[in-house]
Amino acid sequence: MNPSLATAARPASRWSQYMVLTKPRVVQLIVFCAVIGMLLAVPGLPDLRTALAATAGIWLVASAAAAFNCLVEQRIDQKMARTAWRPTAKGELSSTQALVFSLLLGGAGSALLYVWVNPLTMWLTFATFVGYAIVYTVVLKPLTPQNIVIGGASGAMPPVLGWAAMRGEVGPEALVMCLIIFLWTPPHFWALALYRVEDYRRSGLPMLPVTHGSDFTRLNVLLYTLVLFAATLLPFVIGMSGWPYLVAATVLGGWFIAYAFRLWRHYSDQLARRTFRFSIMHLALLFAALLVDHYVWPWLT
């Protein structure tokens, strides 16, 4: 037998199988937004011990929510090309293993946040877990095409968690960041759903392109990017940021709108993929601009 074929056929290690359940790419963006919230919550650098504990705790609970999502959706994942390779869908990890893994991560993360950060952050993070793993995954996702809109509230929480970790309270600045992610989520996810529509049709999930068609979904993507653009200007309006952020938000927002307009008028799966990938870059660069503005702009004024 060809050694390379034998290597390819060899099942992934148990460690890597558990890592897949945590959806590392998704969790990285969640943790990034939470860290931005921590850094923006204080005028200088945050307390390192608290920041590290908060980052680790939020990462653990977010990973627990992702693992629970894989557990609940294992039958759906089996029907979708982009998720059929997950260990729970392939039967490499049992439901019991996935559940225990999720509970251990969630318990460890919650304990870390309660003891080393503050109870408010722990409870907010726990509420986010319930919102994503239970309200969105179990209730909303299989019932309504507006699942991603309503369920997006839990996914928008990371900056609030980071802010609460540093200040022990939730300020208006944190809520503005939460609003931005909340409005960013539908166009981001619907761009993916557009070119994965047959996957969702086979799965039986009532995603917007399945229930209302491509034209309606593309129009909604455009409309949401317009509302999102207005929301991204709020940090400047309320005095949270300065001109450097405003310039970055305007350029990034205009770029996103251009993608959405082209998607509406001249659809292709390739363009939908590019729009989806750009949406991730848009959010990352937008929050990075907030961070640069926070530390650099005061020195220039």
Query: For 28-37, what is each residue's pLDDT tens digit?
Result: 989 999 999 9
CB neighbour class for 287 (10 Å; exposed up to 12, middle 13-18, buried from 19): buried
> What pLDDT shows up at residue 146?
81
* Helix segments in 73-171, DSSP class H: 74-78, 87-90, 95-116, 119-130, 147-155, 158-167
N-to-C CA span, the chain: 69
CATH at 260:
1.20.120
Distance, C-alpha 262 to centroid of its chain = 24
User: What residues make up the domain containing 207?
Assistant: 171-301
The CB density around residue 15, as the number of other CB atoms within 10 Å, is 8
Q: Looking at the structure, do residues 284 and 251 belong to the same domain, yes or no?
A: yes
CATH at 68:
1.10.357.140
- pLDDT interval class at 3 (50, 70, 90): very low
Q: Looking at the structure, do residues 94 and 200 belong to the same domain, yes or no?
A: no
- Coil, strand or helix: which one is 173? helix
pLDDT of 8 higher than 60? no
Residue pair 154/124 in contact (Cβ under 8 Å)? The answer is no
Q: Looking at the structure, do residues 147 and 176 belong to the same domain, yes or no?
A: no
The pTM of the full predicted model, rounded to 2 decimals, is 0.89
What b/e readout covers 141-176, taking b as 16+ CB neighbours within 10 angstroms? beeebebbbebbbbbbbbbbbbbbbbbeebeebbbb
Q: What is the pLDDT of residues 239-261, one digit of tens each?
A: 999 999 999 999 999 999 999 99
Q: What is the pLDDT of residues 276-299, one digit of tens each?
A: 999 999 999 999 999 999 988 667
Q: Looking at the structure, do residues 132 and 188 belong to the same domain, yes or no?
A: no
pLDDT of 5 higher than 50? no
CA angle 257, 27, 106 (to 5 degrees): 140
Q: What is the pLDDT of residues 118-151, one digit of tens each?
A: 999 999 999 999 988 888 888 877 888 888 887 7
* Tokens at 65, concatenated: 């929510």
- pLDDT interval class at 174 (50, 70, 90): very high
> What pLDDT shows up at residue 301?
63
What b/e readout covers 67-77, taking b as 16+ CB neighbours within 10 angstroms? bbbbbbbbebb
Q: Looking at the structure, do residues 13 and 53 belong to the same domain, yes or no?
A: yes
CA angle 47, 153, 22 (to 5 degrees): 65
